[in-house]
């Protein structure tokens, strides 16, 4: 027994509760089980729905992809069918488009139909584009038959219920459904995906809507296959694929960029200088170290450039392996990275090497000079100029050429700038780019690198953004001239589906453009030149009558410098071979400022005149300064100019005193006794011999040019040599000794053409006699830039359709843009289809359109034949040159800057002896005492931008195309 005092444990006297198991845990477990089960079921349901939705979405996307495939096929078929039709008419209006679609040959005009390019058989040539499509689709394989589509392609009426306000009621082309893969078990499985194409002409006949249905059969919803329908509109078009098509050799010089294809028909590759195309690098000559790098790159191209685009692809098994080894030109012990991909486009080209050479801060771009970055993003970012040497700009023209190329960077059709200060050039400080994005508050083209002050990847530089097509074969060219790559410098960036170089092209690829190709449009422009006679317009603006112009002097001109002024060339009344006002009449070398001029012209000068729908008289040979030509300007010339001495008649040369005098002096036959018709050359008509007319014969000591220089009494003295003389030229009963009176060699300086220029088409190409030269700030437009609403200063509305087809229609004329040392302020702008015999451009020039050059230099024809009919000369001596070349390239009229001497650090083109700033003595001669060296003004910059949407003159036989109409793509059933 424990003591009472001992602590004891107190017994809990509370009644213990009986624990009852009520299943709460089970309830909770069941609740969670139900909850999770429901979630699982819901998730399974959702997942199943998602799977079904995803599967449906997948099949919908498959159907859409099939429809897109069908649209690509339809676009190819449309263009293949359209291109089989080679037509003369260029106005693809609704009537012409419908006639071509339906095959209404009576409304198409001259045309031919080519064999199918895709090689399928057909029973007969199609009459129209619709039938050509039927023939093409009849050759399709893997056709899905027996369902809801036609089994054979056919031309049908519109389906019932069609909207006649949208669609035409006839000439729909329905085609069978085409499976995009094989159907190995048609009895046991659903068909593979298929597309079906319908070609639906829209109301009016001008547009064709392609409707494509893509169908997926192996997944069915509501017992029906899944389908999707898309559509896009197309329009018949006639375009020139090339930016240049030329029979003469093409020469693309330094500081020249071409956006478009080049087409060279020249194929006399065995002749000296007989390269169809010559291209010069834009970056050679900037710095000797850069030259060395580029030459290393060229050496690598010669070995490893497998596709001849003048680029090497990084990672390519051949091109990538052929990249030049890096160099350490700065001798810092590490490679310079000269051949790194500065633009990050996967290629190494001259642009990458240029950027790596001048990029001092490693940002893979070159900041332009201080003058060029002012007001640009580069200037606002306070970027340090890099394209400089000791702070001075190296070549601002090249910098502007690249940085200002492709002005429509986002391809939305809005580009350029608002010329706030009216100086016709973009000044970043004063002017605003035209393409303003209101949503993002930025200038879109500027954001994409246009005139941002940097040269970098965003400028997408290429010497030629297009392909080069040759009539000559590669083997013939290389056999005649050596490696082709040495003639073509600069990166060539063709369209995705095109090769950089294509050889052996036929006439469909390279059309045979000649003087007869544009007769219809030429005649229309001639008819539009229906204004007052030329001399009447001159007299009216001078405030006088036409009779007073015969004795006009400089003192008769108004004192106000802004008013019209006229400096005449008087007639040669005393027959001494000089105009009677030769003491003060204006003359100049032709071509103007050429170091190798061919003739000297006495020129009447017209300044500050406005001519409207004017015909420029034959033999005017004028200089127009700051004149405006409105509407159609028609230059007259004598067309039958095939005499072998045509360009020799009337040639001038400088005498010892520097005055132009006839190269072949003449005396008057008929003003002395015994000089009568009896002794006159017997082949001359009575109207051309005394007493009706004097005969101008070559003086003693000068060999006669033709039989008209030999009196009857002297024929025997010439013996057999007399028979070798050519017959004299007689025009309208007059014996001709000066062909200048029957030609037109004209220079336009700082002139504005609001309309088009057209000429008579001379049969022969005589570049000395029939020449147009455009200098200064001459430009072409169709709307007056300052007074668009002034009816007098804008073309007649009735003539606009014709004017818009060509701004210059001068077949077989020689056309010069700029001079042979073009000044920095030159700014010539041409628009549209430019038709000429041969065209040369130097200095700041922009051409938006295409050059279609008609003269085909052929040995033994035209200027390449002597008076005896023997072939003479070199066809390669005639060229279409953009930029500066010299005799080493076969251009004997121009100068090659690489050949110019350097005096006090400046390249010199020659010496000025009379203070007019022009070259009087060539740089190849010693400097005359008291003369001043004339510096080379720089290369300038030339842009040729092909415009595939320009209107073309009718007459040229070209294949058609059917491009898509922007903004017409739709999804959904019609």
pLDDT tens-digit series, residues 189-200 = 788 999 999 999
> Same structural domain for residues 108 and 211?
yes
Residue 149 is assigned to a structural domain of this protein: yes
pLDDT digits (tens, 9 = 90+) for 387-407: 999 999 999 999 999 999 999
In this structure, the answer to whether residues 751 and 727 fall within a common structural domain is no
Same domain, yes or no: 745 and 769: yes
Is the pLDDT reported for residue 221 higher than 70? no
Distance CA 197, CA 150 (A): 11
Residue 850 within a domain: yes
Structural domain ending residue among the three candidates 737, 761, 794: 737
- On whether both 628 and 762 belong to a single domain, the answer is yes
- At residue 37, the pLDDT reads 67
Half-sphere exposure of 795 (CA within 13 A, CB side): 26
Name the DSSP letter for residue 457. Answer: G
Beta bridge partners of 286: none
Q: Residues 551, 679: one domain?
A: no
Residue 589 lies in a domain: yes
Question: What's the N-to-C CA distance of the chain in angstroms?
Answer: 111
pLDDT confidence of 774, banded at 50, 70, 90? very high
How deeply is 255 buried, as exposed, middle or buried, from its count of CB atoms within 10 A (0-12, 13-18, 19+)? buried
- Same-domain pairing of 732 and 745: no
On whether the pTM is more than 0.85, the answer is yes
212, part of any domain: yes
Q: Tell me how many degrees the CA angle 731-737-742 measures, rounded to the nearest 5.
A: 50
Query: Structural domain of residue 927, as residue ranges?
Result: 901-935
Per-residue pLDDT band for 864 (boundaries 50, 70, 90) equals very high
Classify residue 177: in a domain, yes or no.
Answer: yes
Among 708, 737, 766, the domain boundary falls at: 737
pLDDT tens string 928-953: 999 999 999 999 999 999 998 898 99
Q: Answer yes or no: is 160 within a domain.
A: yes
Query: If DSSP codes are grouped into helix, strand and coil, which group holds residue 880?
Result: strand
Grade residue 4 by pLDDT with cuts at 50, 70 and 90: very low
CA 117 to chain centre: 27
Q: Report helix, strand or coil for 833.
A: strand
Three-class HEC string of 495-530: CCCCCCEECCCCCCCCCCCCCCCCHHHHHHHHHHCC
732, 755: one domain: no
pLDDT bucket at 12, cuts 50 / 70 / 90 = very low
- One domain for residues 731 and 804: no
Residue 553 has pLDDT above 90, yes or no: yes
Nearest CA among 808, 457, 741 for reference residue 571: 741
Mean pLDDT of 784-795: 96
Asked if residue 591 has a cis previous peptide bond (ω within 30° of 0), the answer is: yes
| Alpha carbons 432 and 864: distance in angstroms, whole number | 52
Report the pLDDT value the prediction gives residue 270, as an integer from 0 to 100.
Answer: 97
For 326, half-sphere exposure in the C-beta direction (CA atoms, 13 angstrom radius) is 14
In this structure, the answer to whether residues 861 and 919 fall within a common structural domain is: no
Q: What is the pLDDT of residue 1?
A: 40
In a domain, 727, yes or no: yes
Q: Are residues 175 and 188 in the same domain?
A: yes
674 and 668 Cβ atoms separated by less than 8 Å: no
Claim to verify: residue 535 and residue 627 sit in the same structural domain: yes
Q: What is the pLDDT of residues 402-430, one digit of tens each?
A: 999 999 999 999 999 999 988 888 999 99
| Residue 191 falls inside a structural domain | yes
Q: Which residue has the tokens 């020469």?
A: 251
- For residue 528, give the nearest of 617, 631, 629, 425 by alpha carbon: 631
Q: Is the pLDDT of residue 895 over 60?
A: yes
How many domains in the chain?
A: 4
Q: Which residues are registered as beta bridge partners of 970?
A: 231
Are 664 and 651 spatial neighbours (Cβ–Cβ below 8 Å)? yes
Q: Which of 861, 877, 893 is the last residue of a domain?
A: 877
Are 122 and 221 part of one and the same domain?
yes
pLDDT at residue 891, as a whole number: 86
């Amino acid at each position: 027994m424990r003591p009472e005092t001992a602590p004891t444990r107190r017994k809990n006297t509370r009644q213990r509760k009986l624990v009852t198991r009520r299943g709460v845990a089970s309830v909770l477990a069941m609740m969670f089980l139900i909850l999770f089960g429901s979630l699982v079921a819901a998730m399974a349901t959702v997942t199943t729905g998602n799977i079904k939705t995803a599967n449906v979405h997948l099949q919908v996307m498959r159907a859409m992809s099939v429809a897109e495939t069908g649209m690509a096929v339809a676009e190819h078929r449309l263009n293949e069918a359209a291109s089989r039709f080679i037509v003369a008419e260029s106005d693809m209006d609704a009537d012409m488009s419908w006639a071509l679609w339906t095959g209404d040959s009576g409304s198409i005009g001259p045309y031919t139909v080519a064999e199918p390019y895709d090689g399928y058989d057909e029973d007969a040539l199609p009459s129209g584009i619709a039938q050509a499509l039927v023939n093409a689709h009849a050759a399709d394989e893997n056709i899905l038959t027996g369902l809801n589509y036609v089994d054979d392609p056919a031309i049908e009426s519109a389906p019932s219920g069609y909207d006649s306000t949208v669609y035409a009621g006839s000439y729909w082309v329905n085609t069978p459904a085409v499976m995009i893969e094989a159907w190995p078990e048609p009895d046991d499985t659903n068909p593979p995906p298929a597309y079906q194409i319908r070609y639906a002409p829209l109301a009016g006949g001008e547009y064709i809507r392609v409707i494509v249905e893509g169908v997926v059969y192996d997944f069915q919803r509501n017992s029906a296959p899944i389908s999707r329908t898309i559509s896009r509109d197309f329009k018949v078009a006639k375009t020139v694929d090339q930016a240049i098509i030329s029979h003469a050799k093409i020469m693309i010089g330094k500081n020249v960029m071409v956006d478009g294809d080049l087409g060279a028909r020249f194929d006399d590759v065995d002749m000296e200088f007989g390269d169809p195309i010559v291209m010069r690098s834009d970056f050679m000559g900037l710095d000797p170290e850069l030259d060395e790098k580029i030459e290393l790159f060229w050496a690598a191209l010669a070995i490893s450039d497998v596709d001849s685009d003048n680029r090497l692809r990084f990672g390519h098994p051949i091109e990538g392996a052929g990249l030049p080894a890096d160099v350490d030109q700065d001798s810092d012990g590490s490679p310079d990275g000269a051949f790194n991909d500065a633009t990050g486009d996967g290629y190494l080209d001259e642009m990458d090497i240029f950027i790596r050479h001048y990029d001092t801060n490693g940002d893979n771009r070159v900041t332009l000079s201080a003058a060029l970055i002012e007001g640009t993003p580069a200037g606002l970012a306070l970027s340090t100029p890099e394209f400089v040497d000791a702070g001075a700009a190296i070549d601002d023209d090249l910098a502007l050429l690249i940085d200002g190329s492709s002005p429509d960077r986002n391809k939305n059709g809005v580009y350029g700038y608002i010329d706030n200060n009216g100086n016709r050039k973009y000044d970043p400080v004063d002017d605003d780019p035209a393409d303003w994005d209101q949503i993002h508050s930025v200038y879109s083209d500027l954001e994409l690198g246009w005139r941002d002050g940097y040269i970098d990847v965003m400028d997408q530089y290429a010497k030629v953004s297009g392909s080069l097509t040759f009539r000559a074969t590669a083997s013939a060219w290389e056999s005649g001239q050596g490696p082709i790559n040495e003639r073509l410098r600069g990166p060539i960036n063709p369209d995705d589906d095109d090769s950089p170089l294509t050889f052996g092209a036929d006439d469909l690829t390279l059309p045979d453009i000649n003087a007869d190709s544009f007769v219809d449009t030429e005649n229309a422009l001639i008819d539009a030149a229906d204004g007052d006679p030329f001399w009447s317009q001159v007299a009216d603006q001078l405030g006088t009558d036409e009779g007073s112009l015969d004795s006009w002097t400089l003192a008769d001109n108004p004192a106000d410098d802004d008013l019209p002024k006229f400096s005449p060339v008087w007639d040669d009344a005393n027959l001494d071979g000089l105009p009677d006002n030769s003491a003060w009449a204006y003359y100049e070398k032709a071509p103007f400022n050429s170091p190798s001029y061919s003739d000297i012209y006495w020129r009447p000068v017209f300044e500050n005149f406005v001519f409207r729908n004017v015909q420029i008289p034959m033999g005017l040979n004028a200089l127009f300064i700051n004149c405006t030509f409105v509407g159609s300007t028609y230059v007259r010339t004598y067309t039958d100019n095939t005499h072998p001495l045509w360009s020799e008649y009337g040639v001038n040369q400088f005498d010892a005193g520097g005055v132009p005098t006839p190269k072949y002096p003449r005396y008057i036959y008929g003003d002395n006794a015994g000089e009568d018709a009896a002794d006159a050359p017997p082949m001359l008509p009575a109207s051309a011999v005394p007493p009706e007319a004097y005969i101008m014969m070559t003086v003693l000591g000068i060999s006669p040019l033709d039989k008209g220089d030999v009196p009857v009494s002297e024929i025997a003295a010439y013996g057999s040599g007399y028979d070798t003389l050519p017959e004299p030229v007689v025009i309208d009963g007059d014996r001709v000794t000066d062909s200048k009176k029957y030609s037109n060699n004209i220079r336009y300086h700082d002139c504005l053409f609001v309309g088009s220029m057209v000429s008579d088409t001379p049969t022969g190409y005589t570049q000395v006699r029939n020449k147009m030269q455009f200098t200064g700030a001459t430009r072409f437009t169709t709307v007056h830039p300052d007074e668009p609403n002034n009816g007098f200063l804008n073309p007649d509305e009735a003539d606009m359709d014709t004017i818009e087809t060509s701004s210059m229609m001068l077949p077989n004329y020689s056309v010069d843009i700029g001079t042979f040392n073009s000044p920095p302020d030159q700014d010539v702008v041409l628009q549209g289809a430019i038709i000429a015999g041969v065209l040369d451009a130097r200095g700041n020039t922009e051409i938006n359109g295409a050059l279609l050059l008609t003269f085909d230099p052929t040995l033994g024809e035209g200027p390449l034949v002597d008076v005896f009919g023997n072939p003479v000369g070199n066809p390669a001596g005639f060229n279409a040159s953009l930029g500066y070349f010299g005799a080493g390239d076969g251009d004997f009229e121009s100068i090659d800057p690489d050949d110019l001497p350097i005096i006090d650090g400046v390249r010199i083109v020659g010496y000025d002896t009379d203070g007019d700033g022009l070259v009087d003595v060539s740089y190849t001669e010693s400097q005359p005492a008291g003369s001043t060296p004339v510096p080379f003004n720089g290369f300038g910059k030339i842009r040729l931008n092909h415009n595939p949407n320009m209107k073309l003159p009718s007459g040229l036989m070209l294949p058609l195309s059917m491009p898509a109409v922007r903004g017409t793509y739709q999804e959904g059933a019609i």
